[in-house]
Chains A and B, each alone.
Chain A
């Protein structure tokens, strides 16, 4: 078994992302080195040695535990998510969100953090040349529309990579 080496940040969005109703989108801007590392997933000189690429949803906060968030990579604006299942990465359940969002609770810091493996989908998008190498659009869609009074906040959306030891 190979253990992941040190993780490295490739890019982030510009601030907090508020999810209301049927979700929201943000753009993750990649650093110069991040663009090179992502491009190396397909046929680059270090393609074999590169590890996974992960989407990070950091410090997700809110008071609505009963939601499941579906995340999409490169979903076109105004497109129906149901028509682009191939662009969906993974789903995350927000069980424990309310408790994790309490500042003085038992949690080390407010919010939940999720890491989703997007290696496969990025590789496919790069192979089909349908991915902008500088920016990656990330769309987060609840499986059911959130009630009007509910807002879920994602502290930061980021993309990481690890290389195999």
Chain B
């Protein structure tokens, strides 16, 4: 409700730090990332499933989500913080994260299953990644994607007292998770299907998804989107502070 730049910066830094830790874990132990964990060359489906137990896949998927998605949650978490009583902020944030994570974990069942099937049927092939990559490019430019992004920007009023407040932030997490999943599913699937260069692809997709959230909501229509606001912001920073125009002088 009342925006405070310092409070925003503190929250942003904390969320980015959480994301950074997840990235470091993935970088140091690539097999800890869901997108790098499947190796199915020449094995049967049964052996493949035995080599990748569901708990391990779920943990890896969760780590990948934290690394890639956390930076996009600064705005909704800030909305929760300024809409909640101070003593409830941590609890509300946790409930929001639980709702948001639930949707992505359910979506992860489908996404990881597609990854496993692709790795089993076409090990080492770029074909699945190419198909999904082209789908992701098409989805990225579509009006349906814009509708999802617009919904991600929507932060509705939240109840403040009692169980209603808990339920409201959990529902808010579910809603954000739903529209975020609808917006990012193709981009998230793409790096997981690549036979190599997973980390680079993950980083590129994470940057794209973060930058597209910086763009304001727009009318849904076909257009390229993703780096408009980020490019303008970077350009302004690189050019530095601009001089004021010359003052007007009286002409006699």
Contacts and interface: CB of A to CB of B under 8 A. Distances in A.
A108 B217 contact: yes
B4 A59 contact: no
Given A104-B147, A104-B150, A108-B217, A59 B86 contact: no
Contacts of A109: 153-156
B222 interface: no
Nearest to B143: A104
Interface in B151-178: 153-161
Interface residues of B, number: 27
A59 B219 CA distance: 20
Contacts of A11: 160
A33 B219 contact: no
B196 interface: no
Contact of B161 (A5, A12, A106, A113): A12
Contact of A155 (B7, B85, B150, B156): B156
B244 interface: no
A6 interface: yes
Nearest to B147: A104
A5 to B, nearest CB: 7
A107 B218 CA distance: 8
A8 interface: yes
B157 A59 contact: yes
B147 A8 contact: no
Contacts of A16: 157
Closest 7 CB pairs between A and B? A7-B2, A156-B157, A155-B157, A12-B160, A109-B154, A6-B7, A58-B157
21 contacts: A6-B4, A7-B4, A7-B82, A9-B1, A9-B84, A9-B160, A31-B160, A33-B85, A33-B87, A56-B1, A104-B147, A104-B219, A105-B217, A108-B217, A109-B154, A109-B155, A110-B154, A155-B157, A156-B83, A158-B1, A160-B1
